[in-house]
Structure 1
Amino acid sequence: MKNIISRTLLSLLVAGGFAAQANAAEKVTLKVAHFLPTASIAHWDMIEPWCEKINKESEGRLECQIYPAMQLGGTPPQLLTQARDGVADIVWTLPGYTPGRFPISEVFELPFFAPDHQKTTRALWDFSEKHAFKSEFAGLKPIGIWVNGPNYFHMRDKEVKTVEGLQGLKIRAASRMSNNFLTAVGANAMGMPLPQAVEGISKGVLDGLMVPWEVVPAVKLDELTKYHAEIKDEQGNGMATSTMIYVMNKAKYDSLPDDLKKVIDNNSGADTSAWIASRFEAADVKGREAAEKAGGVIYSWSQEEVNKLKGASSQVAQQWIDDMTSKGMKGQALYDDARALVEKYNKK
């Protein structure tokens, strides 16, 4: 009887060991969603390489199923909710699509605030980790947080070279800060997700879009817009930028075994964010080339007009500071810390 019990226990232990090994080796498929087509830089030069990397480092146990162009349903502003609710495991989106949900980190979207993709991205990661992770990223595991390139004016059929020329024009921007900027300088700000804006520019409902170069070929703005105004101040700061996020459902992350969590951790953070920013920086060059090839007119504003633009939009930063203060936060201190981090990293 004792031998029978021993053999039974041994069989149970062996079976348990095999089950544990099977669980450890089980594949996890991550649903990754975003709002642009597969031709977009984010899809083929950021999300796909990231997915390939975690697949390799997990020895095939982590894999991605990518859903571009809102294939999981809904609209771009709903991506963040999809990530928090687990409809998607990971999403790439813009905080600007959900105004009010990222009020702290949107300081990096203020006019003439950011001079460099990768260096400013490192400042943004540090700032967000210090001030925004607990509040703005509740329910999420931040993988990457970055700024895209300078947002320029891409106009359908109007060559605008002055602040006066902007008056009353219908221009789309991606975020609350950029819309505040457009309003401050006299344009008619049209806040909407990019896919909707592309339809608007093609039908002539919009006069132009305020986006970085990298967007141009992905949504055929090289065909839909004729005039492209590159506007920077004397310090090299673009007139606007957008923050972007690549985030994972926290419950999904927590459900992973420790070794797979480590793979995700090793592919998250400041270095990952800077790498993503580098992909968008390279794409800006290609976007500009696409506009040139299509016969687009690319030009700059005079420094005198850029200074007028800065002056007209200077109130936007103070509005943000006052807004933060009204919410019980130290608005000026937050602004000063963000500004100091941008200066710190851009001096290196």
Structure 2
Amino acid sequence: MKLNFLAAIGLVAAAALPAQAQDVTTLKVHFFLPPTSFANTLFIQPWCDKVAKESNQKLKCQLYPSMQLGGTPPQLYDQVRDGVADIVWTLPGYTAGRFPSIEAFELPFMMQSPEATSKALWDFVQLHGQNEFKDVKPLAFHVHGDGVFHMSGKPVKSMADLRGLKLRAPTRQTNKFIAMLGATPVSMPVPQVGDALSKGVIDGAVVPYEVVPAVKLQELAKFHSETDPKEAAFYTATFIFAMNKAKYDSLPADLKKVIDANSGQALSGQIGKAFLQADVEGKKLVSPASVNVIPASELATWKQLGNKLAADWVKDMDAKGLQGSKLLDDAKALIAKHAAAR
């Protein structure tokens, strides 16, 4: 009788709670950078705030930055697929070769506007990559701003400056390009960069300025070498913001609408724009005297190597039965389309 009485009290108390409190769905959001990173402050947290507001606080995020749910950055995609996390933000390129079509956007000198290229990337996946990402519900795809060389020993002014150096790069195609430029590529996720630089494991890293505060590159790198801003970026990386399919399917129709309204091409472009803003903020942290620009005249030789890498990638895709030339042509056309619409 005592247990039944207590259970009855519990039911009465639950009934007395506001309906809103009972209907809250908490989304576990997992990512690899710290909460102070620009990725979180300019994109992830604002997205969560917007979703909460538009759902009348029925959707709320519980953030797990810096891999707090365990695992490593390359495991994030499988974590959202398997339901360890409800939403993740990660790089498809952290699992080399697993998502081949999207690599078209990671080839050298493809991207000049992160906003336009991110919109193009979303459209591209709808055309060519849906099967690759069928195990999750993509909310957005995006790229970051221009890659920058952050070096510990000397600035990069030409290919000759890279010979014999160990350089961190994020993705399969960027690693190949770094090798073509004469450096030894070292593949590692961003969170490992600071420690690797401080211990001399690498001589430098290629990342955009937005990453600077997250790994303290303003303290660890003495030189920051950009490529001519009038030229397309010598590299960018692709990202996915994805939701567990079962979690999405479990939502009532009104909350699905909120998620749908905050995903897709428009969100992808907004994230790309946020990352461009993050580059501006990140660059403010480094000394202007430590920055140099690699001129277009030098980049002309780099572009020839980039074209060779693209041709090799097309052959690789053809060997996989993926129509490499069409993938590359469509990527370029979509980038140009969205750039023209800006």
Q: TM-score, normalised by structure 1?
A: 0.90
Which letter does structure 2 place at the counterpart of 1:202? Answer: S
SS at match of 2:291: strand
Q: What is the aligned counterpart of 2:302 among 294, 299, 309? A: 309
CA shift for structure 1 position 303:
2.4
The aligned residue for residue 169 of structure 2 is: 173
The aligned residue for residue 337 of structure 1 is: 330
Which letter does structure 2 place at the counterpart of 1:312? Answer: L
Whether the 8 Å contact between 2:20 and 2:57 is mirrored in structure 1 is no
Going from structure 1 to structure 2, the CA distance change for 1:24 and 1:260 (only over 3 Å counts) comes to farther
Distance 2:40 2:278 in 1: 12
Distance 2:241 2:162 in 1: 33
1:12-23 pair list within 5 angstroms: none
CA shift for structure 1 position 25:
5.9
Whether the 8 Å contact between 1:232 and 1:239 is mirrored in structure 2 is no
The aligned residue for residue 157 of structure 2 is: 161
The aligned residue for residue 212 of structure 2 is: 216
Whether the 8 Å contact between 1:147 and 1:241 is mirrored in structure 2 is yes
Whether the 8 Å contact between 1:156 and 1:225 is mirrored in structure 2 is yes
Which letter does structure 2 place at the counterpart of 1:48? Answer: Q
Distance 2:176 2:245 in 1: 32
Whether the 8 Å contact between 1:125 and 1:269 is mirrored in structure 2 is yes
The aligned residue for residue 312 of structure 2 is: 319
The aligned residue for residue 85 of structure 2 is: 88
The aligned residue for residue 191 of structure 2 is: 195
CA shift for structure 1 position 23:
9.9
Whether the 8 Å contact between 1:226 and 1:296 is mirrored in structure 2 is no
Single out whichever of 23-32 and 319-328 deviates more from structure 2: 23-32
Q: What is the aligned counterpart of 1:267 among 262, 268, 272? A: 262
Q: What is the aligned counterpart of 2:56 among 56, 59, 62? A: 59
CA shift for structure 1 position 286:
0.8
**RMSD of aligned residue pairs (Cα, Å):** 1.7
Instruction: Check if 1:128 corresponds to 2:121.
Output: no
Whether the 8 Å contact between 2:51 and 2:258 is mirrored in structure 1 is yes
CA shift for structure 1 position 304:
2.3
Which letter does structure 1 place at the counterpart of 2:258? Answer: V
Going from structure 1 to structure 2, the CA distance change for 1:88 and 1:296 (only over 3 Å counts) comes to farther
User: Hey, which bits of structure 1, 4+ residues long, moved more than 4 A?
Assistant: 21-25
SS at match of 1:145: strand
Distance 2:113 2:203 in 1: 28
Distance 1:175 1:67 in 2: 24
CA shift for structure 1 position 214:
0.5
Distance 1:304 1:55 in 2: 50
Going from structure 1 to structure 2, the CA distance change for 1:323 and 1:44 (only over 3 Å counts) comes to same
CA shift for structure 1 position 191:
0.6
Instruction: Check if 1:50 corresponds to 2:47.
Output: yes
SS at match of 2:137: strand
Distance 2:81 2:107 in 1: 27
Q: Percent identity?
A: 50
Q: TM-score, normalised by structure 2?
A: 0.92
Q: What is the aligned counterpart of 2:108 among 107, 111, 118? A: 111
Q: What is the aligned counterpart of 1:26 among 20, 23, 34? A: 23
Give structure 1 stretches of 5+ with no counterpart: 1-17
Going from structure 1 to structure 2, the CA distance change for 1:176 and 1:22 (only over 3 Å counts) comes to same
CA shift for structure 1 position 218:
1.8
Distance 1:167 1:225 in 2: 18
The aligned residue for residue 143 of structure 1 is: 139
The aligned residue for residue 39 of structure 1 is: 36
SS at match of 2:34: coil
SS at match of 1:291: coil
Whether the 8 Å contact between 1:214 and 1:280 is mirrored in structure 2 is yes
The aligned residue for residue 12 of structure 1 is: none
Whether the 8 Å contact between 1:55 and 1:62 is mirrored in structure 2 is yes
Distance 2:160 2:322 in 1: 36
SS at match of 2:45: helix
The aligned residue for residue 8 of structure 2 is: none
Distance 1:178 1:296 in 2: 27
The aligned residue for residue 202 of structure 2 is: 206
Whether the 8 Å contact between 2:193 and 2:215 is mirrored in structure 1 is no
Which letter does structure 2 place at the counterpart of 1:220? Answer: K
Distance 1:23 1:290 in 2: 43
Report Cα offsets for 1:216-244 as digits up to 9, x if no partner: 1121101100111111375x201000111
Distance 1:202 1:110 in 2: 29
The aligned residue for residue 69 of structure 2 is: 72
In terms of Rg, which structure is larger? 1
Whether the 8 Å contact between 2:20 and 2:58 is mirrored in structure 1 is no
Q: What is the aligned counterpart of 1:244 among 227, 239, 242? A: 239
CA shift for structure 1 position 22:
5.8
Distance 1:204 1:274 in 2: 37
